[in-house]
Amino acid sequence: MTISLIGLGLIGGSFAKDLRAAGLADELVGADASPEHAARALTLGLVDRVVTVEEALALGDAVLLAVPVDAIMALLPRALDTVRADQTVIDLGSTKCQLAEAVREHPNRERYIAAHPMAGTENAGPDAALSGLFKGKTVLLCDLEWSAPDACKTALEIFHAVGLKFEFMTSEQHDRHAAYVSHLSHVAAYALSLAVQTEEKAGYAVPRLAGGGFASTVRLAKSAPAMWVPIFQQNREHVLKAVDAFAARLGEFRDALAAGDQARLETLIREANHIRDLL
């Protein structure tokens, strides 16, 4: 098949690398809003040729939308307006409810697959693309009862080819769960980064003192606002609930520290240690 990748950064580029290695596509076609990114993706061999978005929508037997979720919101209806009966349109965004509502009544809704591969890094652009990024990770597939069987089959073939495991859920379930296991961690990393930078401005040598634990905890704070502001906006209701839950737990730690309550601190930490069993 011919696979079109709209968005040639970390996610789109990593799909391109692994789909090429798997030999699933006869041709990989790419489009990107940034001419520099498009040219770089071609230089890196991520795609066989670079075309316009309209050409990518027309050429691909499968079209993967690997752009920020606000761009997907604008692009998805356009894709379904022109989709052929033998094409499959797959979005790879980190939110789902608003996208689902935007195209729920579209006459070509069955050609669309809503998906979220739970993999990534804090880096962006074609040079951030990684071979094997998705191997052993999970892709969340939403509302498949609204999608045509052959479109589901195409999507599953693509995701299997790059090594992803499957989980199935509704868009609402996706956004609720993603708020806790993905979106909240970015909020926490951004807040931690801001707090530490306040200390740095006070004249302390934070970069020289920080160890591996700090680096791993704050890593997500390097993620770009162009990607994450739209995610927070589209999933605002669930992210707010997750942030409130986090703030309540943070408050418990603060209260125990303020009271010098060693036993309570130990209880909270032991309770938190149960994350080992979940992971």
Query: How do the domains of the chain map onto residue ranges?
Result: 2-169, 174-278
The amino acid at residue 255 is D
Mean pLDDT by 10 residues, the chain (279 residues): 95 95 94 94 95 95 96 96 96 95 96 94 89 95 97 97 96 96 94 83 63 78 92 96 96 96 95 88
Residues 86 and 175: their CA atoms lie apart, in Å, by 29
Residues 204 and 246: their CA atoms lie apart, in Å, by 28
pLDDT at site 92: 96
Tokens of 72: 């997907």
Phi-psi sector, 164: left (phi>0), alpha (psi -120 to 50), beta: beta
Between the two ends of the chain, the Cα-to-Cα distance in Å is 36
Q: Which residues pair with residue 137 across a beta bridge?
A: none
pLDDT at site 121: 79
Residues 235 and 240: their CA atoms lie apart, in Å, by 9
Residues 3 and 278: their CA atoms lie apart, in Å, by 36
pLDDT at site 209: 65
DSSP 62: E
pLDDT at site 275: 85
Overall fold of domain 174-278: 6-phosphogluconate dehydrogenase C-terminal fold (1.10.3660)
Residues 144 and 148: their CA atoms lie apart, in Å, by 8
What is the biggest distance separating any 2 CA atoms in the chain, rounded to whole angstroms?
66
List, in order, residues 6 or more apart from 231 with CB less than 8 Å away. Answer: 68, 69, 94, 95, 183, 186
Phi/psi of residue 61, each to 5°? -65, -35
Q: Do the Cβ atoms of 218 and 196 come closer than 8 Å?
A: yes
pLDDT at site 88: 97
Please tell me if the domain spanning 2-169 has the same topology as the one spanning 174-278.
Answer: no
CATH superfamily of 2-169: NAD(P)-binding Rossmann-like Domain (3.40.50.720)
Whose tokens are 């634990």? That residue is 213
| Positive or negative: CA dihedral 243, 248, 249, 251 | positive
Residues 71 and 141: their CA atoms lie apart, in Å, by 20
Q: What is the pTM of this model?
A: 0.88
pLDDT at site 151: 97
